[in-house]
């Protein structure tokens, strides 16, 4: 029996979990667990802000891709390709043979997953320039303003707030404002 290798599977973005479940169920149903040992979706934790609260959420690190550890013999590749939501294996040529990932790539991706799940990465910026917001924290609590700039590196936004009839720009963190 040849050994299992890791392959990258392209799937319909947004359906990664569904595809993973389909593959796992199908392999079990056919009793082929010996050939397909793991299906992994590399995830990263991101913090989203909902109603002023930080909500940690996992999202695929490579949307539309899954990693499959499999021994692609006989019918195995065919079965996987026919799973709903699967587009194809990553190969060098269109419709060519699936290309196994190098050990180093696998370790990097799986290692990266451990790393990513350890700590939530970036806060996703839930705002866009020109949006109206209300200051909910700090000395200008209760004032409304318009987002002028998003200072991504600082994780802040520049909001111009109308104070005594004059627009006054101020730097606030995402946590200090909410959408109007």
Domain limits, the chain: 5-118, 132-179
Q: What is the mean pLDDT of the chain?
A: 85
Q: What is the mean pLDDT of residues 46-75?
A: 86
pLDDT, residue 108, reads 78
Write out the two tokens for 72: 């692609």
Q: What is the CATH code for 132-179?
A: 2.30.30.30
Write out the two tokens for 34: 């010996």
Q: What is the mean pLDDT of residues 96-103?
A: 86
Q: What is the mean pLDDT of residues 62-80?
A: 92
Q: How far is Cα 161 from Cα 67, in angstroms, rounded to an integer?
A: 48
CA distances for 76 relative to 9, 22, 28, 48, 64, angstroms: 13, 14, 12, 39, 21
pTM of the complete model: 0.60
Tell me which architecture the domain covering 5-118 has in CATH. 2-Layer Sandwich (3.30)
* 96/158: higher pLDDT: 158
Write out the two tokens for 84: 């709903």
CA distances for 140 relative to 30, 68, 178, angstroms: 63, 52, 13
Q: Which of 6-20, 55-69, 102-116 has the lowest mean pLDDT?
A: 102-116
Q: What is the mean pLDDT of residues 21-28?
A: 96
């Amino acid at each position: 029996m040849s050994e299992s290798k890791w392959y990258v599977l392209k799937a319909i973005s947004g359906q990664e979990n569904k595809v993973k479940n389909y593959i796992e169920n199908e392999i079990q149903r056919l009793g082929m667990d010996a050939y397909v040992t793991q299906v992994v979706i590399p995830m990263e934790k991101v913090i989203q802000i909902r109603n002023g609260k930080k909500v940690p959420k996992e999202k695929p690190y490579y949307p539309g891709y899954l990693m499959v550890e499999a021994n692609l013999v006989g019918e195995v590749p065919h079965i996987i390709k026919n799973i709903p939501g699967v587009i194809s294996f990553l190969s060098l040529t269109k419709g060519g043979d699936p290309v196994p990932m190098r050990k180093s790539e696998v370790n990097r991706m799986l290692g990266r997953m451990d790393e990513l799940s350890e700590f939530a990465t970036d806060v996703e910026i839930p705002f866009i320039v020109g949006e109206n917001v209300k200051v909910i924290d700090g000395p200008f609590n209760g004032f409304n303003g318009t987002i002028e700039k998003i200072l991504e590196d600082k994780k802040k936004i520049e909001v111009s707030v109308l104070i005594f009839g004059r627009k006054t720009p101020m730097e606030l963190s995402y946590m200090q404002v909410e959408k109007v």
